[in-house]
A and B are shown apart, each in its own frame.
Chain A
Amino acid sequence: MSVVDHNAIELSPRISEADVADYIALLKPRVMSLVVFTALVGLVIAPGHVHPVLAFTSILCIAVGAGAAGALNMWYESDIDARMSRTANRPIPRGRVTRPEALTFGMTLAFFAVMTLGILVNWIAGSLLAFTIFFYVVIYTMALKRWTAQNIVIGGAAGALPPVVAWAAATGSLSVEPWLLFLIIFFWTPPHFWALALFRSDDYARAGIPMLPVVAGPDATRLQILLYTVVLVAVAVAPWPLGYFDAVYGVTSLVLGAGMLALAANVYRRREGSAALRATRRLFAFSIFYLFALFATLLLEVVAHALAPSVW
């Protein structure tokens, strides 16, 4: 049925009134900003010197690639976007941009982002960016999201890859450190999105998306959030004792991790009424700060080291 809706033939010519803001909205700018930030950290902590022009090119290509993945996600999901209050205002459900326009826009940007990164920087980074877009659009959006409650667990790999792409762009190779950043984002994704899904479960149920609170119920989701938070905190602290990141990062990670654990435990304990809603909203908001602060610490350490190498 949805296929018929998507491909309905328009008999009269349609002249687009979509402006630039509609196309920018297709890029999911808020998601893109997190991608740019995590990629920037991957690029900055990489060893050796990267020419500023190549660094800018790499971050721009990763950002455009992420935006392309967002546009292709909106192209495929326009039917469920229209049914959810959180996404009903996106350009396709509002009728500002058609699905073929979004598909063309997304594919064009994806092509240029991957080719530009590959030609101008290196093909390891270009291939990884292509794989990231493929994973987000085909594996997560098309296959997992409507099929399994583990959608965001496996799909989280796409959101975790940008620092790995950036590291590859800077060094032309891969090593342990970018994969540590990958693991942090990968294990951060479930508690972050399940906290959102807990207070948006009606929305997801209406759209027919098998998010964990819809399929397994809120209590099982609360337990999963707590368990994934324990793993996240351990994974985020581990690079310190393993010798990859230093004590400033380690202590910051411990303090922030304690905050995440406390809020996740609060979500697990408070299961009824406004207190439960408040607890999940707090965890969701803090999880964004947690990831930002953790990566900002790595970034600031590199900047501080560059400014005053003798002190560090």
Chain B
Amino acid sequence: MDEKRPPDGIVLTEAQQKSRRQRSIAIALALGVLVVLFFAVTMVKGPAVLNRPL
């Protein structure tokens, strides 16, 4: 009953887990920068930044 069953499917190695974590953090940081950038430019140009003639 107490025996742990091996996980189903693909099991990531230590190196694969580490690199995936790194990539996830990098994507999160990039998205964070994008959010801050859009917020900052909206503040600089005013809230009508998306409402203007092209």
A residues adjacent to B (C-beta < 8 A): 13, 15-20, 23, 51, 53-54, 57, 60, 112, 116, 119-120, 123
Contact = CB atoms under 8 A, between A and B. Distances in A.
A19 B16 contact: no
A17 B19 contact: yes
Nearest to A12: B10
Contacts of A20: 22-23, 26
Contacts of A54: 41, 44-45
Contacts of B38: 116, 120
A20 to B, nearest CB: 5
Interface residues of B, number: 21
Nearest to A21: B22
Contacts of A53: 40-41, 44
8 contacts: A15-B10, A15-B16, A16-B20, A23-B26, A54-B45, A116-B34, A116-B37, A120-B49
A23 B23 CA distance: 9
Sort A-B residue pairs by CB-CB distance and give the 7 closest, nearest first: A120-B41, A19-B19, A20-B26, A53-B44, A15-B16, A53-B40, A17-B19
A209 B4 CA distance: 57
Interface string B36-53: 011011001100011000
B54 interface: yes
Given A23-B26, A53-B40, A120-B38, A17 B16 contact: yes
B23 A18 contact: yes
B12 interface: yes
Interface string B6-30: 0000101101101110110010000
A21 to B, nearest CB: 9
B54 A123 contact: yes
A6 to B, nearest CB: 23
Contacts of B20: 16
B23 A19 contact: yes
A227 B45 CA distance: 48
A123 B41 CA distance: 15
Contacts of A116: 34, 37-38
Nearest to B29: A20
A18 B18 CA distance: 10
A54 B22 CA distance: 29
B4 to A, nearest CB: 22
A51 B37 contact: no
B15 A17 contact: yes
Nearest to B41: A120
A18 B40 CA distance: 32
A92 to B, nearest CB: 16
A60 B37 CA distance: 10
Nearest to A24: B26
Contacts of B18: 19
A18 B19 contact: yes
A171 to B, nearest CB: 16
B1 to A, nearest CB: 32
B41 to A, nearest CB: 4
A19 B21 CA distance: 9
A51 B26 CA distance: 28
A86 to B, nearest CB: 26
A19 B22 contact: yes
B12 A15 contact: yes
